[in-house]
Structure formats: structure tokens, C-alpha cells
A and B are shown apart, each in its own frame.
Chain A
Amino acid sequence: MSNIYKAFEKNKAFIAFITAGYPDIETSKKIIKSAADAGADIIEIGIPFSDPTAEGPVIQGANEVALEAGITTDKVFEMVEELRRDIDIPLCFMTYANVVFSYGNGKEDFLERCCKVGIDGIILPDVPFEEKKEFDETCEKYGIDLISLIAPTSEGRISMIAKEAKGFIYVVSSLGVTGVRNEITTDIGSMVRLVKDSTDTPCAVGFGISRPEQASKMAHLSDGAIVGSAIIKIISEAGDAAPEKVYDYVKEMSDAVHATD
């Protein structure tokens, strides 16, 4: 049983997304540490990509700034290696297929290094069910959960995806790209029910969540809530105070999610 799966056992899980190297490497290390200290159950570390086609403007901007500031895949690995001394919760990478495919001699090098530095899972938004076979054997070899996503448009595909899902299932709440939304109009409950018909793998809802009551509502309908753009926005506005501000925010959000039944 994977560490990610276990992170959902005690209570509903709060998953924080943080772009590695944003606004710079040192600050982002502190931010990730803060989020873990504040009660996040899993942290998704975004490895910046030049052309993040699944992201809205906020995370796109963070990717650009982080790359400008000199982040590279190797530096992200070094960061995680250091962070692992202080952080026990599961860590996932969220990045794009080419970052994995083009690393060193290929995905094998990337995933082996993930395993060495203590990464538990990986989310690749441009690798759907049809293309996952290219990555999942190697992921399995190194004990990395390749996280599956389902979207409001998945419909008849949900059971096929759920049956092979590892770690947790990322339920994309809305159409479009990542970003804060006032309202989530998708019938999350019935998406989750379709998943549960096929698997015990937990479901966490992401895209558009920013407020504690939204997170609590989504966690109630599933097994957890994922927040990205709202955290990146706080970082972009907080300057040097980013680690503290992220701590306060993650505390508030994870408390709300943990209190959800």
C-alpha cells in the first residue's frame, strides 16, 4: 500500500500544490516546509515547464518566474532531497510529459531519481489513460504512483480509468485550466460515485478551490481537496512573508478539510 493511499486513511486529505523554484529556490523550499508544518497531507511540487498547457495564468506566471530564476529539474531533485530530511508526508511531482521523457537518458533516469529522493507519486496532465502505458511500468518499478485524472467530460471513461488508478484519483472539478473559480458547477458527487463503483483508490478534487468552505464541501463529496492557484497567488502577493502567509492559509484550509466528514 502506497504512502499516498495511507495519507487518506486518518481523515480527509488536504493537498497543497507549490511551484518549485517560485519565486526563487530558497524561498520555495521554505514555503514547502511551511505547508507541511501547517498540516498538508500531501504536497504536489510543480516542476516548471516552459509551456504548461493545462495551467491558467497564475501558475503559468509562476512557471515563467521560476525558470527565469534558474530552476532546473536537477535543482528540483536537490531541493526535494534536502526537504526530505524534515518532511514525512507524501510528496508528488506535478509536471509535463516532456520533462520526464527528456530527462537524462529518459523516463527511467527521471523515475529512478524520484525514488532516490523520496518522491511518492507523479501527476502528468498531458498523459491520459491512452498514453500511460509508456510510463506506468517504470513508475511501478520505482514505487512511484502515476496519478490518474478524471474530468467533467470523462463520463464513460471513468470506470476504465479508475480501475487502473494508483495512489489517488485527481478529480478535475471544472472545464478549462487551473485557476481560482467562484463556483464549481460540476456534479462532483456523481463523478465520485462512478469512481467508487470501480475502485477503493481515494479521490481528491482540484481546480478552482480557494476558500475553506469550498474545500470542505469538495472533501465532503470525495476524500480530499487540492489547492494550487490560490497558494501561488498568496506567494506572488506576499513577498518575503510568503512562507508565513502560506503557513496560515494551509492551516486554515487543512483544518477545514480535516474537520469534514
Chain B
Amino acid sequence: MGTESKDNTRFGVHGGQYMPETLMNAVIELEEGYNRLKNDPDFQKELKELFNNYAGRPSNLYFAERMTNDLGGAKIYLKREDLNHTGSHKINNVLGQALLAKKMGKTRLIAETGAGQHGVATATAAALMDMECVIFMGKVDTERQALNVYRMKLLGADVIPVTSGTATLKDAVSEAMREWTNRMHDTHYCLGSVMGPHPFPTIVRDFQSVISKEIKEQILEAEGRLPDAVLACVGGGSNAIGAFYNFLEDEGVRLIGCEAAGRGIDTKDTAATIATGRLGIFHGMKSYFCQDEFGQIAPVYSISAGLDYPGIGPEHAWLHDTGRAEYVPVTDGEAVEAFEYLSRTEGIIPAIESAHAVAHALKIAPSMDKDKIIVINISGRGDKDCAAVARYRGEDIHE
């Protein structure tokens, strides 16, 4: 389904290329490179080999029987992106972009990271493909995700702590963009989500759409029919768009994005963009952003470093406008409870990001009929979050 409007840089009014002139030729070069390679059978074959033999795809679609029985409503399946190499869905996009960059003659990858999952995935791909790698990470996040910082360094990447602004994900994106304006001849900016200027939202979505392609095949095999709802957490929105994309035309499948409400959408400590933001222009795109009355970007908050971002990808903004997807807020408290629930019930520790989607399933599954089917995208594993959740529960543990 062509979700783009006539202007191929946009999804409805969202998207575009609000970038410094210095970077325009770089994004045009990227678009041309991608258009040249995306339908090239050799490129696709190479990517598929990386997906299957390196990242461990396809990821399982697991029937969560104990959770289903416990909730007493809809059947629940978990799409296990947490089982991918490096522990999250981020590797899908990164392998795609790194291969693309390499074919375009680039020798250096730069990236932003929030929780560290995208940074780790990028550092991994750089190691595999023998490329230089520099990761920008908010100073606050380097502290709450210290283990991931070490992993990136171990993989050979330079990690630059970003101290400007709120020293979190949005500032890491800004700093990576600044670095790209400084050096683009040999450097590819491996953006980690379906955001930023065109063509990034489209490229990242295409590489992540393998998630819904597999879900569709797997659920048809297991159940002989499509699911009634697909749930995924949304920060920038890459795992969600990946889980939604191949269901966009299947109107009977509800698509539900779960935003980080932090301490609640009626407080300032929230990152729920659809619930509390409004239309704006930032980080290369037009979309919804948390901002004040003068358009200053809000310092957002979530327990999850990966969802702690004041905007949302333009395709999600458009899916919200058209009503094709729903976006719901989930608080820190609800996410932590879901984090603990899934660990206890299924023996699966989800990333605190993914726990936002699990939390919403806990709300809706019990009142659904037993013949209904829910798929939750478990976008990453939660080992990285154990210390933070312990702190949230008042327990001080050291990694």
C-alpha cells in the first residue's frame, strides 16, 4: 500500500526535508543510493543472509499460553524481536543501512542512541562490516544505561556523551546531525528510528517491515487467520511501524501504538507525543512534537530511555490523522508492572520500552473474546533495564 502522499517526501502533511542546506546533497545521495539498491536482487539477497544467518531471523512468534490463560480473554502471541542478535529490533534497520552505506562507498557510521540498543546494533554492524563507528548518547542516558556504553566500546565504537539540552535522546540526535554536517563524504548517519528528514522514515520502515511480514506468515500458519490487534511501543516508532506496515491494508487488524506517558499525561513528566503534542517542525520533519506555546521543544520524560523523545515519526502522525492506527499512553508504573508480569508469567524479561505494549495488552485482553488474537511486539530484551526497574522499586543494585 502506498502510504505516501503525492509528494514522495511526505505522509499526508507530515515528513519533508527540513534540513540545513549543507546536508541536502547528502540526503539526496542517500535517496538515490537507496532507490538504486532497494530492488536489486543481490542487495536483497545479501541483506536476507545477514538477517537469517547473523541476526537470527526469522524471530519466533510465540503463543503466550500462561499469559492468555491468566488474563482469560484474547489469545496472546509475542513477536520475539528480543531474540535477535544484539537483543532488539534495532539490528534489522542497522544491517540494512550499514549494507547500503557500504555499497555507497561510506566507511564510517555515526548514530544517536537513547537506551543504547540502537548504538549497540550500529556498533555491531560497524564491527562486522569493518567500518568506523561513533555513537552519540545523552549524558543522562550513558549513566542510566552504563552497560550498553561498555558494550559499544567493546565493539570498537567511540561513544560521545552529549551534555547539551536535556542530555537525552533528542540531544543525541541533534549532535549526530551536527556531526554529519561536518563530515558526509565518508560518513553515513545511521538514524535509528522512522524519523528525521526524507528518505530516513521510509528507509527505516522498509528495513523494519520484515517484522510484520513474518508476523503475517507465522500467524496464518498458526491460526489460519490474521490477528485482531497488533500492539507495539512507540517512541520515534520504528518497531511499531515494522509491526504495523504489512497490516495497513488489512482493515480488520487494529494497530495500537503505546506511547510513554511517564508520570502521566496530565503532568510535565511525559513523552506521550500524540496525547500531549501538536504539529511542528523539528529534526528534519514535520510531525507531532511535545512543545511549549512558542514552539520550544519540551524536555520530555519517561522511565524508558528509548521512548524518551519529544516527537514521533511522520508516518505514525499520518496513521493517527487517518485513524488507521490508535495511539495510547502508558505510564512508568504500568510499564514496570508489565515488565514484572511478563517476567513472572512467561519467563520473558521484556525491554522496558516493549513493556509499554505489554501493559496495554494487560488492559484490553481480559475483556476480549477468547477467539480474538492479539500480537504484542516484544521489541527488545530487558536485561539492560533490570537496574533501573530495581531502582524504581527502591532497591539499589549495582551492575
Interface of A with B (CB < 8 Å)? 49-51, 53-54, 56-57, 60, 64, 67, 72-74, 96-103, 125-131, 149-155, 157, 161, 172, 175-177
> Is the pair A98, B19 in contact by a Cβ cutoff of 8 Å?
no
Give A49 Cβ to nearest chain B Cβ, in Å.
Answer: 7
By a CB distance below 8 angstroms, the chain A residues around B282 are 51, 98
With contact pairs A54-B181, A98-B291 given, residues A130 and B24 touching in the complex (Cβ less than 8 Å): yes
Most chain A CB within 10 A, of B18, B174, B283, is at B18
With contact pairs A51-B297, A72-B294, A99-B295 given, residues A172 and B21 touching in the complex (Cβ less than 8 Å): yes
> Is the pair B24, A129 in contact by a Cβ cutoff of 8 Å?
yes
By a CB distance below 8 angstroms, the chain A residues around B293 are 102
Instruction: Please list the 7 inter-chain residue pairs (A to B) with the smallest Cβ-Cβ separation, ordered nearest first.
Output: A102-B295, A176-B182, A151-B22, A97-B281, A98-B295, A50-B296, A50-B297
> Is the pair A74, B21 in contact by a Cβ cutoff of 8 Å?
no
Give A214 Cβ to nearest chain B Cβ, in Å.
Answer: 20
Q: Which of B168-190 contact A (CB under 8 A)?
A: 170-171, 174, 177-178, 181-184
Q: Can you name the residue of chain B whose Cβ is closest to the Cβ of A47?
A: B294
Chosen A-B contacts, 16 in total, with CB atoms closer than 8 Å, are A49-B295, A50-B297, A51-B282, A51-B297, A53-B20, A56-B178, A96-B281, A102-B281, A126-B20, A128-B17, A128-B18, A130-B16, A131-B16, A153-B24, A153-B25, A175-B183
By a CB distance below 8 angstroms, the chain B residues around A154 are 21, 24-25
Q: Which of B157-175 contact A (CB under 8 A)?
A: 164-165, 170-171, 174
By a CB distance below 8 angstroms, the chain B residues around A150 are 21
Cα A33 to Cα B282 in complex, Å, equals 32
Give A190 Cβ to nearest chain B Cβ, in Å.
Answer: 16
By a CB distance below 8 angstroms, the chain B residues around A129 are 21, 24
By a CB distance below 8 angstroms, the chain A residues around B178 are 53-54, 56, 176-177
Q: What per-residue 1/0 map shows which CB atoms of B284-296 lie under 8 Å from chain A?
A: 1000010101111
> Is the pair B289, A51 in contact by a Cβ cutoff of 8 Å?
no
Interface of B with A (CB < 8 Å)? 9, 16-26, 164-165, 170-171, 174, 177-178, 181-184, 278-284, 289, 291, 293-297
> Is the pair A51, B294 in contact by a Cβ cutoff of 8 Å?
no
With contact pairs A50-B165, A97-B281, A98-B297 given, residues A126 and B18 touching in the complex (Cβ less than 8 Å): yes
Cα A101 to Cα B291 in complex, Å, equals 12
Give B161 Cβ to nearest chain A Cβ, in Å.
Answer: 14
> Is the pair B20, A151 in contact by a Cβ cutoff of 8 Å?
yes
Give B184 Cβ to nearest chain A Cβ, in Å.
Answer: 7
- The secondary-structure label for the interface of chain B is mixed
Select A98's contact among B25, B26, B281, beta carbons within 8 Å: B281
Cα A64 to Cα B165 in complex, Å, equals 8
By a CB distance below 8 angstroms, the chain A residues around B279 are 101
With contact pairs A51-B297, A74-B294, A126-B281 given, residues A175 and B17 touching in the complex (Cβ less than 8 Å): no
Give A132 Cβ to nearest chain B Cβ, in Å.
Answer: 10
Give B282 Cβ to nearest chain A Cβ, in Å.
Answer: 5
By a CB distance below 8 angstroms, the chain B residues around A49 are 295-296
> Is the pair A130, B17 in contact by a Cβ cutoff of 8 Å?
yes
By a CB distance below 8 angstroms, the chain B residues around A100 are 295
By a CB distance below 8 angstroms, the chain A residues around B295 are 49, 73, 98-103
Q: Can you name the residue of chain B whose Cβ is closest to the Cβ of A55?
A: B178
Q: Can you name the residue of chain B whose Cβ is closest to the Cβ of A48?
A: B296
Cα A97 to Cα B181 in complex, Å, equals 18
With contact pairs A51-B165, A126-B281 given, residues A73 and B294 touching in the complex (Cβ less than 8 Å): yes
> Is the pair B289, A53 in contact by a Cβ cutoff of 8 Å?
no
Q: Can you name the residue of chain A whose Cβ is closest to the Cβ of B289?
A: A98
> Is the pair A125, B20 in contact by a Cβ cutoff of 8 Å?
yes
Give A122 Cβ to nearest chain B Cβ, in Å.
Answer: 14
Cα A242 to Cα B261 in complex, Å, equals 44
By a CB distance below 8 angstroms, the chain B residues around A50 are 165, 296-297
Select B184's contact among A56, A57, A153, beta carbons within 8 Å: A153
Select A101's contact among B183, B281, B296, beta carbons within 8 Å: B281
With contact pairs A51-B282, A98-B281, A176-B181 given, residues A151 and B21 touching in the complex (Cβ less than 8 Å): yes
By a CB distance below 8 angstroms, the chain A residues around B174 are 51, 53
Given contacts A51-B283, A51-B297, 9 further A-B contacts (CB under 8 A): A54-B20, A56-B178, A73-B295, A98-B282, A126-B20, A149-B21, A153-B184, A154-B24, A157-B24
Cα A58 to Cα B297 in complex, Å, equals 20
Cα A56 to Cα B182 in complex, Å, equals 11
By a CB distance below 8 angstroms, the chain B residues around A67 are 296
Q: Can you name the residue of chain B whose Cβ is closest to the Cβ of A67?
A: B296
> Is the pair A51, B25 in contact by a Cβ cutoff of 8 Å?
no
Q: Can you name the residue of chain B whose Cβ is closest to the Cβ of A156?
A: B25
> Is the pair A51, B20 in contact by a Cβ cutoff of 8 Å?
no
Q: Can you name the residue of chain A whose Cβ is closest to the Cβ of B23?
A: A153
Cα A217 to Cα B177 in complex, Å, equals 30
With contact pairs A53-B283, A60-B164 given, residues A131 and B296 touching in the complex (Cβ less than 8 Å): no
Select A102's contact among B21, B165, B171, B280, beta carbons within 8 Å: B280
Q: Can you name the residue of chain A whose Cβ is closest to the Cβ of B16?
A: A131
By a CB distance below 8 angstroms, the chain B residues around A101 are 279-281, 295
By a CB distance below 8 angstroms, the chain A residues around B182 are 175-177
> Is the pair A102, B25 in contact by a Cβ cutoff of 8 Å?
no
Give A47 Cβ to nearest chain B Cβ, in Å.
Answer: 9
Give B379 Cβ to nearest chain A Cβ, in Å.
Answer: 26
By a CB distance below 8 angstroms, the chain A residues around B26 are 153
Cα A54 to Cα B24 in complex, Å, equals 13
Give B245 Cβ to nearest chain A Cβ, in Å.
Answer: 26
With contact pairs A50-B165, A98-B289 given, residues A172 and B297 touching in the complex (Cβ less than 8 Å): no
> Is the pair B284, A126 in contact by a Cβ cutoff of 8 Å?
yes
Q: Can you name the residue of chain A whose Cβ is closest to the Cβ of B278?
A: A102
Cα A167 to Cα B10 in complex, Å, equals 30
Cα A125 to Cα B183 in complex, Å, equals 18
By a CB distance below 8 angstroms, the chain A residues around B17 are 128, 130-131
By a CB distance below 8 angstroms, the chain B residues around A99 are 294-296
Cα A99 to Cα B296 in complex, Å, equals 7
By a CB distance below 8 angstroms, the chain B residues around A103 are 294-295
> Is the pair B18, A155 in contact by a Cβ cutoff of 8 Å?
no
